[in-house]
Structure 1
Amino acid sequence: MAGLLCLLLAAGPAGCARQGDETDHVLTVLGPWTGREEKSFRNLLNRFEQQHEGVRVDYQGTTATREVLLSGVLAGDPPDVAVLPVLGDLADYVQRKQLWRLGEDIVDDDQYGGPWLSQPTGLSARYWLPVKVDLKSIVWYEKGSSPGASAREDVSRWCIGMGSDATSGWPGSDWIEDILLQRSGADAYDAWATGEMDWTAEPVVDAWRTWGAFMSRDDRAAETALTTDHRGPEGGNGLLFDRGRDCDLEHQGSFARNLYGDDASRADFVASPMLLPGADGQSGYREVSGDFAAMFKESEQARDLMRFLASLEAQRAWATGVEPPFFSAHRGVTQEAYPEEDTVSRRIVREFRQAERLCLDASDVMPPTIRRIFHEKVLEFLADPRQDPVRLLRQIQRVKNALPEGTPWLERACG
């Protein structure tokens, strides 16, 4: 009876819809943030809803963004907007014509410089924007202690874990990438990350050998790394503050403070070139990563949301709306946006702004097939870090050579 009544009334202005329900335009957003990060992002989306009457945002946070997004795309029902940490996947979606272009009214190139707006080779249009960024050329330690000169030689001092659910191995790729960047420079790094340099080239082999020699200094280091989750024990405060481990240094991105829980305020850092084995301590190059928003369904409301996420208002509110805070690629979010007493966050912002060059995480910008085998070979290498890595690198190169013609690569990884 109620359904029939709704049909009879459907010709009316509102039918049987309730204000704020069926009459709303609902935007679906998929992102990688859960817990405190999700709460902060939802607060940001609430601000957008308040500014756009009649629009609601349905956010789904998951650590399996790639798998959930792929499922939706294959089913023909992707989210309106998705946020991914891997540009290689987004470049693939661009090639498959599953992303919508972003106009100049959404992304202001003058406010997002460096490598953040790099696009697939041969394309000038914008397809994504950085919502949140992190510094990866960074080593954490506990305030009041000192990293010390022995860090370059003593692997037992380092908290290292390769475990990360379906993406295990990426903490090792971060080590190799940062070592390559600091030893061979940004040009070599850029050529490798964008597919112009072979995996058997000297800078790549050198980075793997350097890391292997370092991990071989203690017979237990590699085995421990393979059996340890990078997040530390469940319910704990990360590896650096794991009382069951005798280590005091961690090569981990600026997001690590979210792993440190109540101990986050006790964490301090130095730039990684000062401590990485074989690195030039004076290097001004910094590896970075980001979470990038892209539009999978085109609508006026979706464009409004993308425009909002790119705005200085949203970037400042998002970066400073949670503790510990996040970081933004927007040039308007300066160190003054963070409290004076938060010297760690202010110094991280300075690293972003004063670096000689910023280079995106290499595995994140590579095609998905290459990224996966890179992570797999990192784990295989750690099973015997004394082995010559050339055999493994040749295997990756063969996979690269077999990629279908036209596989998209980014035009650049370094700004």
Structure 2
Amino acid sequence: MFGLSALSCLSPISGQAPTRLLIGAAQAEDELGREVGTQLQNAQSALSSHQPAKALEFVNAADAVAGKSDYESYVIAQMRAAAASQAGNVPVALKAYETLIRNSRTTPAARQQMLMAQASLAYGARDYASAANAASRYLKEVGPNQQMQTLLLQCHYLQQDWKGTVEAGRAMLAADRKAGQIPAENQLQMLAAAYDQLHDTAGKTGIYVKLVKYHARPQYWQMLIHDLTTDHSLTPRMVFNLQRLRLATGLLTSPAEFQDMAERAVQMELPQLALNLLDEGYARHLLGTGTGAEAQAHFRAFVAQRAAEARTSLPAMVEKAKTSTEASPSLTAGYNLVLNGQVDQGLALMQQGLGKQPHQPDLARLSLGMAMMDAGRQTEALQLFSSMDGEGTANNLAQLWAVQLSARPSH
């Protein structure tokens, strides 16, 4: 009486698979006949001696025995998978694994191992379609696995199937998010390259945000800021927020850019914020020096005058915002209250604005987070920014601010 059991699979990314099977005690209802058992015993010995081709001959001899039981056919398929894998006969090994995978005798754990082995063998043989199929089945049945996810992405990527890469990558990110796992860096790199090949700037930017968030490297920041800066589809408010982010990361140093940033703040009816930003430029000695110092001083005086006027009219602005059905007045008046020291009242008014269905809700939430940050409420701002993990430029900028705030010392 003979029995058979498979060894565990090797790393699926390596392209290897089980190369040895052991014959031992079997259950009473699962017996190998003497003729089949002898042939498989010989096959096992050949495998142990690293003679896989000879082992396959013994397996074929066992398979040729007439009147085999279902159990005998199952054990023969196991041995054929091992011998073919060791022999490098990938088509035969894949077929044998498929037979085993579909057999009800295979336990769920063994099925998972076989799917991994099948994907690895096909990948090593550059049969990317079969490898992708096996990897997809594994991920669907078992769940997230970084080795299988990477292999699946690689199958599409190496075939330059950019749409397939993106589809697999998006499913991967959703699974990782559900499982609370951090996406692997190499997976995100392949996904970013695929978006780039598809000329999908928004998709590429979203992936670089994740690279910055989870695998922060200077080159990711540089690539991301460059792509955002050259994105002509950004709204003026998005450009302003990006300018502030560049300032926070030390990438905005030009006096002309400082003035442009301040002008945008004035246009957004936040002159005190414009004045604060100009004063930061003076503190960094980026303004107030050189041939442009006099013009810069005149501009600062203009902004200071606008800020004073805004403080005077702020109570009326707040009352008007409270009775307005539009979100914008509450968001603007609330931000001005924050900038002028009335933080709790200002943030409360902005929260009311969020409840009035703003036209761009993500941008409104981003503005609230910026107001929290400007008020010194770093923890609250970080929590809000971190919660904005959807798609779109406003959410991307929020995630970048979350990374930036996380790197700052808390107060």
TM-score between the two structures when normalised by the length of structure 2 = 0.24
Identify which of structures 1 and 2 has the higher relative contact order when contacts are C-alpha pairs closer than 8 Å and 6+ apart.
1
Rg larger in 1 or in 2? 2
Between structures 1 and 2, the one with greater strand share: 1
TM-score between the two structures when normalised by the length of structure 1 = 0.24
Between structures 1 and 2, the one with greater helix share: 2
